[in-house]
Amino acid sequence: MFDFLIDGFGVAFTPLNLGLAFLGALLGTLFGALPGIGPINGIAILMPLAYTLGLPAESALIMLAGIYTGAEYGGRMSSILLNVPGDAGAVMTTLDGHPLAKKGLAGPALGLSAVSSFVGATIAILGLTLFAPLLARAAVLFGPAEFFALMVFAFSSMSVMMGKDPIKTAIGAVLGVLIATVGVDSGTGVMRFTFDMPELYDGIDFVVMIIGLFAISEILLMLEHANRKDSEAELPPLGRVFVSMKEVMLCKWTMLRSGLMGFIIGVLPGTGASVAGAVSYTTEKRLCDKEGTFGKGDWRGLAAPEAANNASAAGSFVPMLTLGIPGSGTTAVLLGALMLYNITPGPMMFSENPEVAGGLIASLYIGNIVLLALNLPLAGLFARVLTIPRWVLVPGIAILSFVGVYQLHSDLTAIYLMLIIGIFGYLLRKLGFSLAPVILGYVLGGLMEENLRRALAISGGDTGILWQSGISLGLWIAAAALLILPWLFGRLSAVRTSRSA
Amino acid sequence: MSLFNSRTADRGLAIALIGLAAFIASQALSLEVPFSYDPVGPKAFPIGLAIILALLSLVLLIRPGENGEWPSAGVALKLLAVLGLLLIYALLFQRLGYLMSSGLVIAGLARLFSASWLKAVATGVLMAIGSYWLFTLGLGITLPGGSWLG
Amino acid sequence: MNSNTSLSLLLGSVLLGGALLSSSVQAADNDECIAPAKPGGGYDLTCRLAANGLLEAGLIEDPMLVTYMPGGIGAVAYNHVNGVRTDDPNLIVAASTGAAVNLALGKFGQYDADEVRWLGAIGVDYGAIVVRADAPWQTLDELMAALKEDPSSVAFGAGGTVGSQDWMKAALTARAADIDPRALRYVAFEGGGESLAALLGNHIQVFTGDLSELRSQLESGDIRVLAALSEERVGGPYADIPTAAEQGYDVQWPIWRGYYMGPEVSDEAYAQWSERLQQLAEADSFATLREAQGLFPMAMFGDEFDAYVKQQVAGFKELAQEVGLTQ
């Protein structure tokens, strides 16, 4: 049954392919670490190169898969070190990763995130190997109504993020959802809030949004800090370099749960690393955050999104390899790469091109081991980014932001938009908003509206479709439980304390 | 010395957001929809969100919270200078090309972050060239060469 | 660092910068293809087809640049070519039937189809009407009968909004059965992949997709293609699929993939490019590349193609008016 995998390892273990897996992992880490330049660009840029070099299909795919997984590893670096997410999946990583770096624990934080990435990816690749065809059948059971219920669930799981200022959290989320409504309406083709600017027809790009919100506002905040006389102006001290076994063990259940959750979300076509990171983070916060340390540099808050986004990256291979349906933007590009080699992924791929399917899965195993081996010892080196003086670091962030946005759009409007969003992000942060709800609102809100309207278009307006299936009903109940149970427990314990008093 | 206190800031924000909500609602109402297959249509979501936003902002107006410290006038001026530099960068990016515009802006930013002139210029030149190499040769990204050259 | 060494460092780096600058100037003469989309999309592949094909066939010497300019399914690039690079002889922009539809609907802003020089098409894909393998309809006729009886009993889905070319396929199919396209149930997804997943999960019953994206599902027997929206049967793995016309419904939906150039490009450059593409279409190496992308042969260049697109846009305008998309 697993002949294809054994053959696959045979393919992957040739010196050329091992070298390519290594090169891909390295390049991917670099692509992921640079804000705005994510795996999609990496693959799109290197795909024609692989083709012109005349690499055979499986070798090209092994390198591209290395880039893909490498980028998920790399995305966390600027999240932790600079509070600027390197890619979509790494937004939640900033929440606890950066506070850890500020405490002088950048090295261990990078190490832990490498370990959790590895665990998450390994869970997902095992799942991919064992259950891919089965999961693919299950994934298509998710239709618009089920996705809508999933989004309701995701929003209600966000309630745990409310924190000390629930009004501002809610406003942030609403603003995020509103930003997602800009552009051509996906149902009717009507332009919403585009003000006759063609640049806004496709809506506000995710990369423009995160670079503006995080990177540009970070530059402004750094300037403020640099002008402050008190101790905050100091760069964080560099403490120890390696993550301790104790820290890893503290997070073991978090990693396993988040990895599993990330994998499942990744398998569903249409949801990706950003949703996986958000849902796993909020779940872990709910489960583990007894002392209120999440958001202030909790190891588990760092491990959760990292395990989840890597698992989701590997999970999105499931619909691509088994159904020929890309589960994410990046797998869409990989699909294009395969087509260039005259290989059509889909139900027949495992029987028709076993060396490609097996080689790819084997290279995911190898790539992950390479990445762990690459990232653990180098954590200390990467952490030294923090010792770069601000007058070098800030211009660096600025040019990366510009290049990241420019190479995506070849257009200055996107850069102006990034600057405007940056000012907006700065003001929000000064006004005591957290940026995570804005991003979550943006990611989840768009999906929520689209899927609600798709579901109702299918049923002709009958709202019954929204909870008809077992899957959606289950998600509705889970969402309600998330909102009601904590309140109920709160009441119960209040009653108990008043009695005992 | 703070420019304004945080409660005023929250109130100002609340008023601005209510204005934004009104604008969104009026824009959404004026959308012309040829026809829609779903009963919700493209208007309902923005209008609903505008109402929620307005309600939340009202609460904020009544119960403004605390927030961070606002920069002093001197720092605010520097912030504007950074934004101005970034704007100039955007304006010159295609016209002067990547190398020239980046070099200038890197030097300017470094200077604003209190590097000496010498360090600032050296950083500008080295980083512009180094990053150009990294992006074009290393990562295969196309960058503007500058229209003034050709 | 003392000031002396840093000064020499400074000088050295300025010199190095100058050298680099002059080398980057030469690169500016390269041929360029703008893909008006994000990396990986159909337009990206269209640009790669020209870039790889021309290089392999030896029709260009230096690799062609592929630049991404997403926005409004081509609107941003269209405006860019009309506003900024109106006469660049080295620039071509990828386009397809989708661009023609949007031009007809006035979604490219102030500009009309007459504003650019349509260069040529080098491949074509065809629309298809797809159902699940276990669907009750064996032929297009049976589906049409079910639709006539109760249009709301069948949910259509595809990867585009109302007014997009994916929607047009559904609307034209409905119209061929004398059903008001507004009476349909139609669901807009984000791209063909999501629609196909929804079809496999039985959330929608009919998917109006493109032939090229169906191959693996067709081979595995998960889906049935009721009709190809081509003029005549296409070959290869699709040879068994009847056309809609064969079954008595006049619906055709070719999706050409081609290029345009700026409005003020010289006749000389235009002729040179159109000749180059023509040679490409005839090259042996090109057929493999084209087939890898699931495209069928189409070769129309220069003025003939220019007239074809303009006529197509005019046709779409009428259609849009008819179904009530525009006034």
Helix/strand/coil for B30: coil
- Asked whether residue A328 carries a pLDDT value surpassing 90, the answer given is no
Q: Which residues of B touch C188 (CB under 8 A)?
A: 37
Q: Share the mean pLDDT of chain C.
A: 86
- Asked whether residue A359 carries a pLDDT value surpassing 70, the answer given is yes
Helix (H) or strand (E) holding A192: strand A191-192
pLDDT given for residue B2 in this prediction: 46
Q: Which long-range contacts (CB under 8 A, 24 or more apart) does B23-26 make?
A: B24/A178, B24/A193, B24/B49, B24/B50, B24/B53, B25/B50, B25/B51
**Inter-residue contact C227 to C140 (CB < 8 Å):** yes
**Inter-residue contact A171 to B53 (CB < 8 Å):** yes
Closest to A109 measured CA to CA, from A254, A306, A261, A262: A306
- Separation CA B106–CA B93 (nearest Å): 12
pLDDT given for residue C14 in this prediction: 42
- Give the domain ranges of chain C: 30-124+254-322, 126-238
- Asked whether residue B150 carries a pLDDT value surpassing 90, the answer given is no
B99–C24 C-beta distance less than 8 A: yes
- Separation CA C134–CA C307 (nearest Å): 43
- Separation CA C63–CA C29 (nearest Å): 11
Closest to A139 measured CA to CA, from A357, A312, A257, A4: A312
Average pLDDT over residues A423-449: 90
Is residue B149 very low, low, confident or very high in pLDDT (cuts 50, 70, 90)? low
> Can you give the length of chain C in residues?
327
- Asked whether residue A37 carries a pLDDT value surpassing 80, the answer given is no
Residues 6+ apart with CB under 8 A from A427: none
Average pLDDT over residues C130-137: 96
pLDDT given for residue C1 in this prediction: 39
> Can you give the length of chain B in residues?
150
- Pairing type for strands C206-210 and C155-158 reads parallel
pLDDT given for residue A33 in this prediction: 81
pLDDT given for residue A213 in this prediction: 92
pLDDT given for residue A89 in this prediction: 78
pLDDT given for residue C15 in this prediction: 41
**Inter-residue contact B118 to B111 (CB < 8 Å):** no
**Inter-residue contact C147 to C179 (CB < 8 Å):** yes
Give per-residue pLDDT as tens, A248-281. Answer: 999 999 999 999 999 999 888 767 788 899 889 9
Residues 6+ apart with CB under 8 A from C104: C113, C313, C314, C315, C316, C317, C319, C320
C6–B37 C-beta distance less than 8 A: no
Closest to A407 measured CA to CA, from A25, A43, A100, A41: A41
Q: Share the mean pLDDT of chain B.
A: 88
Chains A, B: CB pairs < 8 Å? 185
DSSP state of A292: S
Q: Share the mean pLDDT of chain A.
A: 86
- Asked whether residue B19 carries a pLDDT value surpassing 90, the answer given is yes
Q: Which two tokens stand for residue C246?
A: 């064969």
**Inter-residue contact C127 to C208 (CB < 8 Å):** yes
- Pairing type for strands C91-96 and C65-68 reads unpaired
Residues 6+ apart with CB under 8 A from C307: none
Q: Which two tokens stand for residue A68?
A: 């893909």
Q: What are phi and psi of C223, to 5 degrees?
A: -130, 165
Give per-residue pLDDT as tens, C274-290. Answer: 999 999 999 988 998 88
Burial class (CB in 10 A: 0-12, 13-18, 19+), C262: buried
Helix/strand/coil for A428: helix
Helix/strand/coil for C251: coil
C126-238 and C30-124+254-322 share a CATH fold: yes
Average pLDDT over residues A439-452: 90
- Asked whether residue A3 carries a pLDDT value surpassing 90, the answer given is no
In chain C, pLDDT over 70 holds for what percent of residues? Answer: 91
CB atoms near residue A477 (< 10 Å)? 13
Chains that touch C (3 or more CB pairs under 8 A): A, B
Sheet strands (E) in chain C? 32-35, 65-68, 91-96, 117-132, 155-158, 185-188, 206-210, 223-228, 254-261, 300-301
pLDDT given for residue A48 in this prediction: 67
Q: Does B126 touch chain C (CB under 8 A)?
A: yes
Q: Which long-range contacts (CB under 8 A, 24 or more apart) does A482-489 make?
A: A482/A153, A482/A156, A482/A157, A482/A159, A482/A160, A482/A286, A483/A156, A483/A159, A486/A286
pLDDT given for residue C202 in this prediction: 94
pLDDT given for residue C10 in this prediction: 42
CB atoms near residue B116 (< 10 Å)? 13
- Angstrom distances, CA of residue A184 to CA of A189, A193, A429, C72: 5, 9, 29, 8
Q: Which residues of A touch B144 (CB under 8 A)?
A: 406
- Asked whether residue C3 carries a pLDDT value surpassing 60, the answer given is no
- Asked whether residue A62 carries a pLDDT value surpassing 90, the answer given is no
- Asked whether residue B92 carries a pLDDT value surpassing 90, the answer given is yes
Q: Does C149 touch chain A (CB under 8 A)?
A: no
Say if domain C126-238 classifies as CATH 3.40.50.720.
no
Residues 6+ apart with CB under 8 A from A120: A255, A258, A259, A262, A263, A306, A307, A308, A309, A310, A311
* Percent helix, strand and coil across chain B, each to the nearest 5: 70, 0, 30
Q: Which residues of B touch A170 (CB under 8 A)?
A: 52, 56
pLDDT given for residue A71 in this prediction: 85
Residue with the larger pLDDT of the pair C241 and A57:
C241
Closest to A335 measured CA to CA, from A356, A321, A350: A321
B129–C10 C-beta distance less than 8 A: no
What is the fold, at CATH topology level, of the domain defined by C30-124+254-322?
D-Maltodextrin-Binding Protein; domain 2 (3.40.190)
Closest to A214 measured CA to CA, from A363, A70, A425: A425
Is residue A500 very low, low, confident or very high in pLDDT (cuts 50, 70, 90)? low
Is residue C134 very low, low, confident or very high in pLDDT (cuts 50, 70, 90)? very high
Burial class (CB in 10 A: 0-12, 13-18, 19+), B27: middle
- Angstrom distances, CA of residue A474 to CA of A285, A478, A486, A488: 22, 6, 18, 20
Give per-residue pLDDT as tens, A365-390. Answer: 888 998 998 888 888 888 888 888 88
Distance from CA of A466 to the nearest CA of C (A): 12
B97–C324 C-beta distance less than 8 A: no
Residues 6+ apart with CB under 8 A from C198: A140, A143, A144, C157, C187, C189, C204, C207
**Inter-residue contact B129 to B107 (CB < 8 Å):** no
Q: Among A154-168, B34-48, C117-131, name the most confident range.
A: C117-131
Closest to A223 measured CA to CA, from B109, C212, C309: B109
Closest to A476 measured CA to CA, from A135, A143, A156: A156
Q: Does B77 touch chain A (CB under 8 A)?
A: no
C72–A202 C-beta distance less than 8 A: yes
C10: nearest CB among B121, B128, B129: B121
Give the residue on B whose Cα is nearest the Cα of C325. Answer: B34
Is residue C292 very low, low, confident or very high in pLDDT (cuts 50, 70, 90)? confident
- Asked whether residue C4 carries a pLDDT value surpassing 70, the answer given is no
The identity of residue A228, as a single letter, is: R
Average pLDDT over residues C252-261: 95
Q: Does B99 touch chain C (CB under 8 A)?
A: yes
- Separation CA C197–CA A269 (nearest Å): 8
**Region at B142 (left for phi over 0; alpha for psi -120 to 50; beta for the rest):** beta
Give per-residue pLDDT as tens, C5-53. Answer: 444 444 444 444 444 443 443 344 678 999 998 776 788 889 989 998 9
pLDDT given for residue C155 in this prediction: 95
In chain C, pLDDT over 90 holds for what percent of residues? Answer: 53
Q: Which two tokens stand for residue C75?
A: 């609107």
pLDDT given for residue C306 in this prediction: 95
DSSP state of C180: -
Helix/strand/coil for A291: coil
- Asked whether residue C183 carries a pLDDT value surpassing 60, the answer given is yes
- Separation CA A305–CA A96 (nearest Å): 10
Q: Which two tokens stand for residue A237?
A: 């001290």
- Asked whether residue A332 carries a pLDDT value surpassing 80, the answer given is no
Taking every pair of Cα atoms in chain C, the longest distance, rounded to a whole number of angstroms, is 90
ipTM: 0.93
- Separation CA B33–CA B49 (nearest Å): 19
The identity of residue C290, as a single letter, is: R
A323: nearest CB among C69, C78, C200: C200
